[in-house]
């Protein structure tokens, strides 16, 4: 983790140095040579025309000198204009502001959109060599529990612990882990799959029912992703538990429509839709 912060600090310093250098040592802007040369060429042509008119006796000497003076003034203005446009002053105040704001912005923004605990999570289980089998799941679970005890802000690790507890049928522990995961990380709290797992854990720990707290958790998952297949399946099961087969059929059909043709869940879900379709007709179940 220390290595990550050293690298992140180095990248931030590099960004500050790049921006500050451009502000303190600005590049000299190229002068717009083509318009300038065209204007100066026109002035030279006018000057030559004055000489020709004077030599031909068309232009009096006094008028020629006055015109020359005007052409000289215009040429000087043209050169001064280009020189001023090509010069930029060092923007020290802006460089100082950038040197302060860039690191502050990085410190404020990264914890919100990044995953500070991701590196720790990735290396937390390096001592577990070989494939993760059902026999080794309890050992993996114990190591993960130790990791979240040492790193309580690692939301992803809490969510993984909850899923392992679900697999081990430790439903109360799973519900607690999902609750901690959602509280620890905004990114985890925005994942509908975590809310579905949370609903399952709570439902199984509270008498194998989706009524009550699990219903609110399923609703949250669908709020985050109305097309989430697992949340739709669970919403259909909840509707059946309430005695509303028509609502169950609607949820399950929506889930079915979102499954790929090769998805193995299609067969069972199709049978469930067909089964509850008859119950939803006249003489079927009455919602409780």
Nearest to 223 by CA among 196, 192, 251, 252: 192
The confidence score (pLDDT) of residue 252 equals: 94
Indicate whether this model's pTM tops 0.85. Answer: no
Q: What is the pLDDT of residue 21?
A: 65
Q: What is the pLDDT of residue 33?
A: 46
Give every residue of the chain whose pLDDT is below 70, as ranges: 1-10, 12-13, 15-40, 43, 71, 75, 78-92, 94-95, 97-99, 101-134, 280-288
Give the class (CATH, top level) of 133-225: mainly alpha
pLDDT of residue 219: 96
Q: Where in the chain is the domain with CATH 1.25.40.10?
A: 133-225
Report in angstroms the alpha-carbon separations of 220 from 214, 215, 217, 226: 10, 9, 5, 10
Q: Looking at residue 153, what is its pLDDT?
A: 92
What is the reported pLDDT for 84? Answer: 46
Instruction: DSSP letter for 28, please.
Output: P
pLDDT at site 32 = 47
- At 156 the pLDDT is 92
Residue 69 pLDDT: 80
Q: Is 208 helix (H, G, I), strand (E, B) or coil?
A: coil
> What's the pLDDT at 66?
80
pLDDT at 58: 78
State the Cα–Cα distance between residues 158 and 156, nearest whole angstrom.
5
Nearest-angstrom CA–CA distance, 245 and 111 = 45
């Amino acid at each position: 983790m220390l290595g990550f912060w050293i690298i992140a600090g180095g990248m931030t310093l590099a960004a500050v140095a790049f921006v500050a250098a451009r502000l303190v040592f600005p590049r000299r802007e190229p002068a717009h040579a083509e318009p300038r040369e065209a204007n100066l060429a026109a002035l030279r042509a006018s000057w030559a025309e004055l000489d020709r008119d004077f030599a031909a006796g068309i232009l009096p000497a006094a008028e020629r000198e006055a015109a020359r003076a005007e052409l000289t003034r215009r040429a000087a203005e043209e050169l001064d204009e280009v020189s001023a446009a090509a010069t930029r002053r060092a923007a020290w105040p802006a460089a100082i502001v950038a040197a302060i704001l860039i690191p502050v912005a990085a410190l404020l923004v990264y914890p919100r959109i990044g995953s500070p605990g991701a590196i720790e999570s990735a290396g937390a289980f390096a001592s577990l060599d070989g494939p993760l089998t059902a026999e080794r799941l309890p050992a993996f679970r114990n190591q993960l529990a130790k990791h979240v005890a040492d790193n309580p802000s690692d939301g992803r690790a809490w969510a993984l612990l909850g899923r392992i507890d679900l697999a081990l049928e430790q439903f109360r522990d799973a519900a607690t882990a999902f609750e901690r995961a959602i509280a620890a990380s905004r990114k985890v709290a925005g994942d509908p799959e975590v809310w579905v797992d949370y609903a399952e854990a709570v439902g199984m720990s509270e008498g194998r029912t989706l009524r009550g707290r699990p219903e609110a958790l399923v609703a949250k998952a669908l709020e985050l992703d109305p097309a989430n297949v697992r949340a739709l399946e669970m919403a259909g099961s909840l509707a059946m538990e309430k005695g509303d087969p028509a609502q169950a059929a609607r949820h399950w059909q929506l889930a079915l429509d979102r499954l790929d043709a090769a998805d193995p869940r299609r067969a069972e879900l199709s049978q469930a839709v067909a089964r509850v379709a008859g119950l939803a007709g006249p003489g079927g179940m009455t919602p409780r």
